[in-house]
Amino acid sequence: MSNVQRLLYRQLKQTCEAYELLAPGDHVLVALSGGKDSYSLLVLLGALQERLPFPVRLTAVHLDQAQPGYDGRPLAEWLAASGFDYEILSEDTYSVVTEHVTPGATYCSLCSRLRRGILYTAAERLGCNKLALGHHRDDALETFLMNLFYGGKLQAMPPKYTTDDGRFEVIRPLLQCAEDTIRTFARERAFPILPCNLCGSQPGLARDRMTQLLSQLEKENPNVKSIMMAALANVSPTHLLDPELVRAWQTRPEGVRPAPDVRATVSHSAALPVASGCRGPGTPRSLPMVSQPADFPDS
């Protein structure tokens, strides 16, 4: 492994362990869009799969959405040589999106729903119980800022969630990985990147503004993204304004109350874990910085 791959692998492994993203007997559909993130996700999960102490199956699924100028041959050739189980699907969601989205509105929401529905159908047919998506740290932070500034809610991207119908669990193993590191890894491996001619064709999107904001903040503080991710795992429910959240936290069972943080310097504002449905009892409030987790050995 290169140093970049080793770093991404450790971050993915730690995320999988901390949030229990993988379990014995899982069959994971890995959504492969043809972008740098999904290629990296598949390769890194494959490396982890070989080292797990229990069996996990991976199947890569790529969807040809009939976008103008689409050429999936490089991706198909890469998959054929990769050794991964895979399927390539074809469905014209491009026409549906362009016909139903009003001028000036963003394509992303409808495109994502259509794509996700097709992947769910494929997952059921293939016997998959989980879907792995390639969202990374920057995606999570941009989503958090968009919800904060435009949606009026404190919400980011959970590392895992169960679909509304209860059929599948969606996981995001790259959630602690920086986009710049993934970009470097993709260049190292020379992945055959397929451009997106739908969402990538729209200028001035709100998400682009969030990207610019984070870049500006990073110039002032190079660690700002790491700090923001730590904040998402270090929530003080009693210091927010949601009455239901405060009541739920105050009436929680004694067993889930964290031990006092001896490092805290402000007595009235102890750091508390996230109040989120994505974590079970005993899950740490932030990712453990361990070099070699017992359940996910390096070799």
**pLDDT 10s per residue in the chain (299 long)?**
899 999 999 999 999 999 999 999 999 999 999 999 999 999 999 999 999 999 999 999 999 887 788 889 999 999 999 999 999 998 877 777 777 666 656 666 667 778 888 999 999 999 999 999 999 999 999 999 999 999 999 999 999 999 999 999 999 999 999 999 999 999 999 999 998 755 554 445 788 899 999 999 999 999 999 999 999 999 999 999 999 999 999 998 887 765 545 444 333 334 333 333 333 434 444 444 333 333 444 43
Contact 297, 53 (CB under 8 A): yes
Residue 237 makes CB contacts below 8 A (sequence gap 6+) with 245, 246, 248, 249, 272, 275
pLDDT at 113: 79
Measured distance CA(260)–CA(271) in Å, rounded: 8
The neighbouring-strand residues paired with 161 are: 170
For the chain, which residues make up each domain, given as ranges?
A: 3-253
Measured distance CA(37)–CA(186) in Å, rounded: 8
Torsion of CA 119, 63, 14, 44, to 10 degrees: 140
Quote the longest CA-to-CA distance of the chain: 60
211 exposed, middle or buried (CB, 10 Å; 0-12, 13-18, 19+)? middle
pLDDT at 198: 58
147 exposed, middle or buried (CB, 10 Å; 0-12, 13-18, 19+)? middle
pLDDT at 206: 83
How many residues can be counted in the chain?
299
pLDDT at 117: 87
The neighbouring-strand residues paired with 60 are: 30, 86
Measured distance CA(176)–CA(14) in Å, rounded: 9
Residue at token pair 């809610």: 153
**DSSP 3-state percent helix, strand, coil across the chain (nearest 5):** 45, 10, 45
Measured distance CA(174)–CA(12) in Å, rounded: 6
pTM of the predicted model, to two decimals? 0.81
3-253 belongs to CATH 3.40.50.620: yes
Contact 278, 158 (CB under 8 A): yes
